[in-house]
């Protein structure tokens, strides 16, 4: 358990209390799911090799969180994303979270405030958002078979 996880539990205690967000295993489990369906370069998704990936970058650090939320909203609307979402960070948190797309959207400001790379993954990793500390914002989808 990390200090950042404790902070998330505290600031999102209403969402946890109502069950709209819940802990769903470990971040490592989510990364295994991602690695199963997406091309990887080093420890990250190789977005250049994801057909049709949407990639953005925000140079101004103070604008990155707001711009990612806008990016998330635009992509969700464009592709009519629905259903459950898994969240994992790549360093400062060890847990994975699960919730609806609406629940994750409400939690975005708190989640992306943590200094790490952030992954929001759809059912069976069929789609994935990534937001990096360096300002990269990516979205892609693949036909990933479920893990056996």
Residues 6 or more apart whose Cβ sits within 8 Å of residue 121: 30, 33, 34, 85, 86, 87, 88, 127, 128, 129
Q: What is the pLDDT of residue 68?
A: 98
pLDDT of residue 91: 87
Average pLDDT, the chain: 93
Residue 146 has pLDDT above 70, yes or no: no
The answer to whether 81 and 15 are in contact (CB under 8 A) is no
Q: Is the pLDDT of residue 42 over 90?
A: no
Asked if pLDDT for residue 142 goes beyond 60, the answer is yes
Task: Give yes or no for a contact between 30 and 86, defined as CB atoms under 8 angstroms apart.
Answer: yes
- Distance CA(118)–CA(132), nearest Å, equals 6
pLDDT 10s digits, 12-30? 999 999 999 999 999 999 9
Per-residue pLDDT of 64-87, as tens digits, reads 999 999 999 999 999 999 999 999
pLDDT of residue 89: 94
Residue 96 has pLDDT above 90, yes or no: yes
Is the pLDDT score of 88 beyond 50? Answer: yes
- Judge whether residue 2 has pLDDT over 80: no
Q: Is the pLDDT of residue 148 over 80?
A: no
């Amino acid at each position: 358990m990390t200090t950042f996880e404790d902070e998330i539990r505290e600031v999102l205690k209403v969402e946890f209390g109502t069950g709209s967000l819940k802990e769903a295993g470990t971040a490592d489990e989510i990364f295994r799911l991602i690695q199963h369906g997406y091309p990887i370069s080093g420890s990250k998704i190789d977005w250049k090799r994801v057909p049709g990936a949407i990639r953005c970058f925000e140079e101004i650090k103070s604008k990155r969180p707001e711009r990612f939320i806008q990016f998330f909203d635009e992509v969700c609307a464009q592709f009519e994303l629905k259903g459950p979402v898994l969240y994992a960070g790549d360093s400062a948190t060890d847990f994975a979270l699960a919730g609806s797309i609406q629940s994750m959207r409400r939690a975005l400001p708190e989640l992306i405030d943590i200094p790490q790379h952030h992954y929001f993954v759809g059912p069976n990793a069929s789609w994935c958002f990534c937001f990096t500390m360096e300002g990269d914002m990516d979205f892609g989808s693949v036909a990933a078979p479920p893990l056996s």
